[in-house]
Structure 1
């Protein structure tokens, strides 16, 4: 069996390497981008023509997850994982001790380039680094809108005087677009293959964009999510107190109107980002690079923006854990969707295979190339999720079990196929007792793999590892 798997991996790797000699690799990374905000999916009335174009020309993974976080800044954990290749509980150590993604690609004969958000403890190790940004700029936009009058006369996302992503005079999304096109134009004159790490801060708050984009989404036309709540019943117990930053963006309790305003500005920032992504795709096409370039589009995590009474990403719901993941390039089937669950950090080993670089032992995430090639349908036995020691999650098959060890050990059980919006909690239904026990057993086995020391039954004490 092991020999067959090794032969399969070699065949898949060979099929990609034969598609082109040292292909270019473009990684487009966004921040706070929920999977539902892809126009071609039809889940929301959002305009993303260039993302739609990418999906039409490539393969889409419909169940791509972030693994979680050790702190409120979920993006730090996500970006540390993808640049180290290590799972969430080991990523902080690995990023310091091992070569990062860019170094591995560079050693494969690539010119490496990055621009935009970094937010990783270790300094970026690319050949060219331009306009590195932090996690988010200082800006206004908190506790709003408290009324329609506040909405009409208060903070506006197109007001450059408010700073935020307008700091420096040019919107940071435009800066990433400009820098990316500039590098592509330069690379067209060189023979060396390139790896581009293009990291947009958008659509992270403050959700700013030019007025023409905000006007595309009239506030009264915005739909409130079907799983909207004025307040999440376990908010404080899962680690989101009253003063928690992400959750302070809108007033408590939530109102339909406040959520409409935030979703309007969220969608506008995504459509503005989409425009600049289109400029990047156009530049690659203008220089006839598309036939020899792999592109991955994804995000570090999703975002609530009104789902379940939440605003941020510090939760285990689909809207915050799942992200877009689209691959385009030589040998990648067009218009294909793959439902097999993956982690977004699988992008790292996937690109190493494209570059002909041996995947080091410290890289724990897995290449998705066998899935793309149709040579595999299984990937991970289950999907793991964590948020500090306040929340845990396992997704296996159709089922998701969420665990709140500090909320009187509260459990939440959802069938994601029958209940994709996670509105029908089955945890207290005695018919599902055996399913819960099964998932808890599976999760404890996952804890050993992940190096997770949390004892679900006694969250203040270290967990005793299973004896083998």
Structure 2
């Protein structure tokens, strides 16, 4: 009898696959995962075999960026941009409409539903719209970050500071509720794939993990995979970032309170150890989802998108959080796997991670609405000679704390409150260690990039007036 039930289920699954007219799309969305938190993208310390396999199986955009955010919770802006298709300041405005149950038909899942997709969401939700108002099916809805405790901050003070440990469940966080939140989201995803595999409708899954966001908790065996003597101190390590207060990432910012001031090599190594451990635990959840996709016979008809809402410093430049314009915090992994996607390909064009929303509706054969401001990545996957969509990448933090432009291999960062201007040559100095803004030979470049930044502000509906700072700079 059992074998007959399995055979019947298998036949239903095969028939459903045959009758599906469009490919499935699975979106794996992580939180706080820098492009530096992936072995296949150059970090030999972190262990990420499944993410590495996705890179090998698909096409990776090696320069994918988040625009920033309007407050310390950068994920709020990033996810609002992803769901709405709007750039950062326009996404802030549309979020206000979402909170009033307006404009929901223009969201990513609603567009997929109109295209004939069954939509599903599980995991972290940090968007003003209620998930059950825009998705057909919803699993566990998790808060912006796991519930933490005071013991998780300002640590470790020294080698004897061992009260808080990633595997201790009494401190809540990812352990609140009994099962680690990454495993909870994974279980939800496996259950939906099982049910969707016997239906003839294509599906869109939004699988949002909180990891590797703090509190960086994981079972002890994952922490043990990273002996402290194997963790290197970042080359950009600083005890304190000189502009931390003026750029809005000082001692009162929650993320920055995680480690003691001034930073110590030991505290940075512990934080990076825990960051890597929760990432490897997350990688194992990815593996189980991908294995289920293969076992269900769905892999050949499914696209997998993998990215994160932004990166994280974890000790680089004397910073712990993501509220800055350095690549470790604004640059993320972005991988696409699926039918007709070249394997092992790297695309170096500068893109925004929210381009994945436009890519999904392109795959779903939906004509892109005029209000979507991001662009499909498919043309760059198939055409090596196609010029990138964006001449420059724009970045911001808060209304008046930071602005950035990345263009032609250089990055200009402005701290408006103190009128500080930083310039980095990203080809010669990819770690952004040496500010060359005040070198006489860079005067024209600073002026041109600053003017380009002001132009981008106008395109982005950014109301901050930087012109007085430029005028003052050019007169010095």
Q: Output the TM-score relative to the length of structure 2.
A: 0.90
Residue 111 of structure 2 is aligned to residue 104 of structure 1 = yes
d(CA) in 2 for partners of 1:161, 1:94: 39
Deviation at 1:44, TM superposition (A): 3.6
Q: Find the residue that maps to 2:349 and give its secondary structure.
A: coil
Note if contact 2:454-2:466 (Cα within 8 Å) is conserved in structure 1: no
d(CA) in 2 for partners of 1:43, 1:265: 15
5+ residue gaps in structure 1? Answer: 1-19, 460-468
Residue 34 of structure 2 is aligned to residue 34 of structure 1 = yes
Q: Where does residue 7 of structure 2 map in the other structure? A: none
Q: Where does residue 120 of structure 2 map in the other structure? A: 113
Q: Find the residue that maps to 2:214 and give its secondary structure.
A: coil
Query: Cα deviation per residue 1:355-414 (whole Å; 9 max; x = unaligned)?
Result: 11121111101111111111623211110000011100000120100001112x111101
Residue 286 of structure 2 is aligned to residue 277 of structure 1 = yes
d(CA) in 1 for partners of 2:61, 2:273: 26
Deviation at 1:41, TM superposition (A): 2.5
Match of 1:177 among 186, 201, 204: 186
Query: Cα deviation per residue 1:414-439 (whole Å; 9 max; x = unaligned)?
Result: 11111110001101111100110110
Give the alignment of 1:181-220 within 5 angstroms. Answer: 181-220=190-229
Q: Where does residue 330 of structure 1 map in the other structure? A: 339
Deviates more, 1:95-104 or 1:301-310: 95-104
Match of 2:445 among 435, 448, 452: 435
5+ residue gaps in structure 2? Answer: 1-19, 470-476
Q: Find the residue that maps to 1:62 and give its secondary structure.
A: strand
d(CA) in 1 for partners of 2:463, 2:145: 31
Note if contact 1:94-1:362 (Cα within 8 Å) is conserved in structure 2: no
d(CA) in 2 for partners of 1:21, 1:304: 43
Q: Find the residue that maps to 2:88 and give its secondary structure.
A: coil
Output the aligned Cα RMSD: 1.1
Q: Find the residue that maps to 1:442 and give its secondary structure.
A: helix
Deviation at 1:458, TM superposition (A): 5.0
Match of 1:267 among 265, 273, 276: 276
Residue 133 of structure 2 is aligned to residue 143 of structure 1 = no
Residue 21 of structure 2 is aligned to residue 21 of structure 1 = yes
Residue 385 of structure 2 is aligned to residue 378 of structure 1 = no
Note if contact 1:113-1:127 (Cα within 8 Å) is conserved in structure 2: yes
Give the alignment of 1:348-427 within 5 angstroms. Answer: 348-374=357-383, 376-388=386-398, 389-407=400-418, 409-427=419-437
Note if contact 2:76-2:126 (Cα within 8 Å) is conserved in structure 1: yes
d(CA) in 2 for partners of 1:132, 1:123: 10
Query: Cα deviation per residue 1:88-135 (whole Å; 9 max; x = unaligned)?
Result: 010022242432111110110000001000100111211011110111
Deviation at 1:290, TM superposition (A): 1.1
d(CA) in 2 for partners of 1:163, 1:368: 39
Q: Find the residue that maps to 2:361 and give its secondary structure.
A: helix
Q: Where does residue 6 of structure 1 map in the other structure? A: none
d(CA) in 1 for partners of 2:408, 2:297: 42
Match of 1:235 among 244, 253, 267: 244
d(CA) in 2 for partners of 1:147, 1:423: 27
Note if contact 2:45-2:230 (Cα within 8 Å) is conserved in structure 1: no
d(CA) in 2 for partners of 1:93, 1:21: 36
Deviation at 1:260, TM superposition (A): 0.1
d(CA) in 2 for partners of 1:220, 1:259: 12
Deviates more, 1:332-341 or 1:441-450: 441-450
* Aligned positions, number: 437
Residue 461 of structure 2 is aligned to residue 454 of structure 1 = no
Q: Where does residue 17 of structure 2 map in the other structure? A: none
d(CA) in 2 for partners of 1:241, 1:425: 20
Q: Where does residue 88 of structure 1 map in the other structure? A: 88
Note if contact 1:39-1:45 (Cα within 8 Å) is conserved in structure 2: yes
Query: Cα deviation per residue 1:207-264 (whole Å; 9 max; x = unaligned)?
Result: 0000000100112321110000000000000012322100000000000000000000
Q: Find the residue that maps to 1:89 and give its secondary structure.
A: helix
Residue 173 of structure 2 is aligned to residue 160 of structure 1 = no
Note if contact 1:37-1:44 (Cα within 8 Å) is conserved in structure 2: no
d(CA) in 1 for partners of 2:363, 2:92: 26
Q: Where does residue 249 of structure 1 map in the other structure? A: 258
Deviation at 1:457, TM superposition (A): 4.5
d(CA) in 2 for partners of 1:55, 1:137: 28
Note if contact 1:28-1:295 (Cα within 8 Å) is conserved in structure 2: yes
